[in-house]
Chain A
Amino acid sequence: MKREDRNKAIELVTEQTLEDQKAYCRRTSDLTIDNIIHDTIYLEKKRLKNKKRTKNVRIDIAFWTKTEKRFYSAGPLEKEEILKEIIQNYATEIAGGYSTRVYNFTTGIVPYLLKAILVNEPFWKLFSKKGKEKVNENISIIGPVDKILKLSKTGTLIVTPTHQSNFDSIVIGYATYLTGLPPLIYGAGLNLFTNPFLSYMMTNLGAYKVDREKKNELYKDVLKNYASVSLEYGYHNLFYPGGTRSRSGKIEEQLKLGLLGSGLSTYIKEAKQGKKKNFYVIPCTINYELCLEARGLIEEYLIEEGSRQVILPNDSSNKIRNILDFAKKTVNVDSRITVCFGEPLDIFGNEVNDEGQSIDKYSRPVDIYKYILVDGVPDFSFQRDRIYTSILGNKILKSFLKNNVIMDTHLVSYALFKIFQKKYPFSNIFKLVSTFGAECKKELLLETVSFLKEILFKKRDNGELKLGRVISTQPVDIIVSYAKHQLTSYHGESILHEQNDSFISNDLITLYYYQNKLTSYGLEKDINLWLQTKL
């Protein structure tokens, strides 16, 4: 958010959140301002209890200790003042430090930094014309970009991408730059701001801070109101509706609706003041042939699924060393990324035409203003609006599925994993992924990939999913050898190596991650039946 808007926005967020809390108390007979403050202090102290005493943590502890002391001796008026201060403290923390000057500078630099990470060219060549062509080869942007560009001029965009990697925000930032889309502001996990490299880029590309360790409802309300206020100011927003990165590698199956609902609440708020503003939701998938954090994410997923709630402290994308390592490896890998924008939706999940008019499936115009009427006038309705947002969420999920780009690494991992599942019938997935030396005949893998490719082509033709360039254009043997090259170049030989006429894998965990991108399309029955005839 621009500096000139930032302070006013903090003020508005504070006012709005305070009003919301009072409204909750009015609606819920056994909820008081005392409860809200007390619960927030309790949860904050609990959060800070075992944290390493960094400078910021010490400041936080001092704030909450002082606030608690004041709270216990305060009268009703002062308590409201305390609540306001807590809210203001949160709002100030969340607000990003965007400035147009720095944004322009950063967008100038970011493409070259990205090229350094993503392109198989020496750094000095990146500034050349050839380097630019190379980056265009490796990052594809597909979907109705011209339409989105047009809509960005008549309304406010809410871009809602899938979330697989901490690089997503950078990739989206770069994609918006390449396509000429306006800058987006977005909430990024606080952990990303601990890394100076990412923090610099995040902040100056418009990021505001989201601390996922803060679980209290008050903080979530402040966050939601910050997003709403930024939309009110006309800032194009980016939310990850899945909340956090997909641990499993699967396309999102459930969304967190809190932030997503801010589009609707802003729309109603404006309508109540007699204004009609347009908000457009742009679902979007970010698809990596290789994922920086694949191994770490899938390990977390397996631990969670195994019912042991463990948060792994070392996130591989937080360490500058790991990023450089990733960059170095990807330089040799020539990895591909596809950003796929879906059809723009309104905040109720209807599609919109080029002019921004909401339409139904027969392209008949839909008057969305009617959705928010209560006894003929626009108004909020907590339960109704929650369901509206859930309907929008379902439409976004459908768009994710349709615009999920299946790449060679996913297809080959899926084929291998299904073969291993059939060949080694362990009682559960945890035992299977711990297997070393899983072996598959080359011929069987080629046949299986060929079988799956045919199904995927049909699904692509039916508009159920999208396929990457290698799968779409290359024969099966090339797909397999290319995917193997990609996977081993980044994850090492343990994921897959050849031995005589077989492929051997000692890293089914990482294979599991990549194969999961294909698990939402009901392929299991067909592939299992087919493999029954082969194994």
Chain B
Amino acid sequence: MAANKVVTVIGGGSFGTTVAYLLAANHEKVKLWLRDEAVINSINTRNENTKYAPGITLPTAIVATSDLEEAVAGSSLLFISIPSRAFRGVAKEIGKHVTGDQILVTTTKGFEQETFKSMSEVLAEETPCLKIGALSGPNFAAEILRGKPVGSVVASRFNEVIEKVQDALGGKTIRIYGNEDIYGVELAGALKNIYAICSGIIQAGGYGENAKSLMIARALSEMSRFAFYFKANPSTFLGLAGVGDLIATCNSELSRNFRIGRKLSEGLTLEEAVKSIGQVAEGIYTLKIVKEKADRLGIHMPIVNATYKIVYEQKSVSSVFEELMLLPHRKDIEFKFTTPD
């Protein structure tokens, strides 16, 4: 059991609940902050998050609360699982209660639409905390909650953050890897959602496995190209947060973004597709901001462009994919990784 016995998760959605579930294996008390009083009640009385993890019995160590000050007090480690659109508002509130010795770890895979800032950057701006990390990787909540093995990556400039998260979360069903490239890890986690939408479109359109593999491999090139521009380390994209998450999210019905893509391909409008999923799919927001950013900076991202045309311009899938296939030929590998002497 980790040295600090109390930890906190801010956000009681499906992933927040999952993180709390994992933490409960290593801590005496896990405080889970959320706003929905009915869900709080169901967690505290029936050990179940009826809204986001129905049918899963949560450990009794998890105590839900809507009192942010109480949730934050006394925890040396806090995980923040709030959708990107609401993230800054909650971070600002957290900032009122935390102190500089507390560690904050974001699990949100998205960027702030107005500023293109990562969630860790938002935390750094809105709170006095400096020791900040980001958790990412192929982590479907539904699988984790059923005890299936999983790997995650925690990124931080501070070794202490990496070590504390490894101690707090690691266990017989989860391996936690460390990475210093926090921006690269966050970028990978956000960008892959765009390609999950595209993969869903390919799947439902019956374009086949070859097409999907082509898209995934080229997506990796696009992501690395984008990351390189923002001074992230392209090799981060070869790890769990990059290729690991990309493979999972582009192939699974458990991915909300994948399902959005599938529903769009089946002829639903974006609004209908979002409504049918019933939960936030970060990819649709990320797609918009990455498209704008890439256009403005002149970064070549044909898959992002194609997905944007389908999602936001209602262009037909077949015509957009045909355009993609007829683009000029390019080299397969863009980045060369040299080995040290």
Contact = CB atoms under 8 A, between A and B. Distances in A.
Interface of A: 348, 350, 360-362, 364, 366-368, 370-371, 373, 381, 383-384, 387-388, 390-391
A383 B127 contact: no
A387 B124 CA distance: 14
A368 B95 contact: no
Contacts of B96: 364
Contact of A371 (B92, B95, B126, B130): B130
Interface in B145-181: 157-160
A145 B56 CA distance: 61
Interface string B111-126: 0000000000000011
B101 interface: yes
A371 B101 contact: yes
B95 A383 contact: no
A388 B160 CA distance: 13
B100 interface: yes
B100 A371 contact: yes
Given A348-B130, A368-B100, A371-B130, A384 B95 contact: no
Nearest to A381: B160
B302 interface: no
Interface string B286-316: 0000000000000000000000000000000
B130 A391 contact: yes
Select the residue from B99, B130, B159 with max chain A CB neighbours within 10 A: B130
Give the 6 A-B CB pairs with smallest separation, nearest first.
Answer: A370-B100, A370-B101, A366-B128, A371-B100, A370-B99, A387-B157
A283 to B, nearest CB: 18
B158 A350 contact: no
A367 B100 contact: yes
A274 B93 CA distance: 32
Nearest to B159: A383
B125 A361 contact: yes
A368 B99 CA distance: 9
A366 B92 CA distance: 14
Nearest to B102: A370
Interface of B: 92, 95-96, 99-101, 125-128, 130-131, 157-160
A272 to B, nearest CB: 16
12 contacts: A360-B95, A360-B128, A361-B125, A364-B95, A366-B100, A368-B100, A370-B100, A383-B158, A384-B158, A384-B159, A387-B158, A388-B130
A360 B127 contact: yes
Given A360-B95, A366-B128, A383 B100 contact: no
Select the residue from B96, B125, B158 with max chain A CB neighbours within 10 A: B158
B130 A362 contact: no
Contacts of A368: 100
Contacts of B126: 361
A20 to B, nearest CB: 20
B166 to A, nearest CB: 15
Contacts of B100: 348, 366-368, 370-371
Contacts of A362: 92, 95
A1 to B, nearest CB: 32
Nearest to A348: B130
A350 B99 CA distance: 13
Nearest to A365: B128
A199 B96 CA distance: 51
A264 to B, nearest CB: 12
B157 A350 contact: no
Contacts of B127: 360
Contact of B160 (A364, A384, A391): A384
A373 B128 contact: no
A367 B99 contact: yes
Nearest to A374: B160
B5 to A, nearest CB: 14
A390 B92 CA distance: 24
Given A350-B128, A381-B160, 16 more contacts: A360-B95, A360-B127, A360-B128, A364-B95, A366-B128, A367-B100, A367-B128, A370-B100, A370-B101, A371-B101, A373-B101, A383-B159, A383-B160, A387-B130, A387-B157, A388-B130
Contacts of B125: 361
A370 B160 CA distance: 15
Contacts of B101: 370-371, 373
Contacts of A384: 131, 158-160
Contacts of B95: 360, 362, 364
Contacts of A350: 128
Nearest to A383: B159
Contacts of A387: 130, 157-158
Contacts of A360: 95, 127-128
Select the residue from A367, A373, A384, A388 with max chain B CB neighbours within 10 A: A384
Contacts of B131: 384
A262 B171 CA distance: 40
Contacts of A373: 101
A348 B92 CA distance: 20
B105 to A, nearest CB: 16
Select the residue from B95, B96, B101 with max chain A CB neighbours within 10 A: B101
A367 B98 CA distance: 10
A348 B99 CA distance: 14
A370 B129 CA distance: 10
A370 B100 CA distance: 5
A381 B92 CA distance: 28
Nearest to A391: B130
A361 B101 CA distance: 18
A348 B127 CA distance: 13
B336 to A, nearest CB: 20
A200 B213 CA distance: 71
A352 B160 CA distance: 27
Contacts of B128: 350, 360, 364, 366-367
Nearest to B92: A362
B140 to A, nearest CB: 32
Nearest to A371: B100
A390 B130 CA distance: 11
A377 to B, nearest CB: 11
A399 to B, nearest CB: 16
A447 B160 CA distance: 55
A396 B52 CA distance: 44
A397 B95 CA distance: 24
Contacts of B157: 387, 390
B123 to A, nearest CB: 12
A315 B145 CA distance: 68
A373 B160 CA distance: 12
Nearest to B99: A370
A368 B129 CA distance: 10
A325 to B, nearest CB: 43
A359 to B, nearest CB: 9
Contacts of A371: 100-101, 130
Nearest to B297: A525
Nearest to B125: A361
Nearest to B96: A364
A360 B158 CA distance: 21
A209 to B, nearest CB: 34
Contacts of B158: 383-384, 387
A353 to B, nearest CB: 14
Nearest to B124: A391
A383 B180 CA distance: 12
Contacts of A381: 160
B295 to A, nearest CB: 12
Contacts of A391: 130
A54 to B, nearest CB: 39
A158 B158 CA distance: 25
A346 B335 CA distance: 41
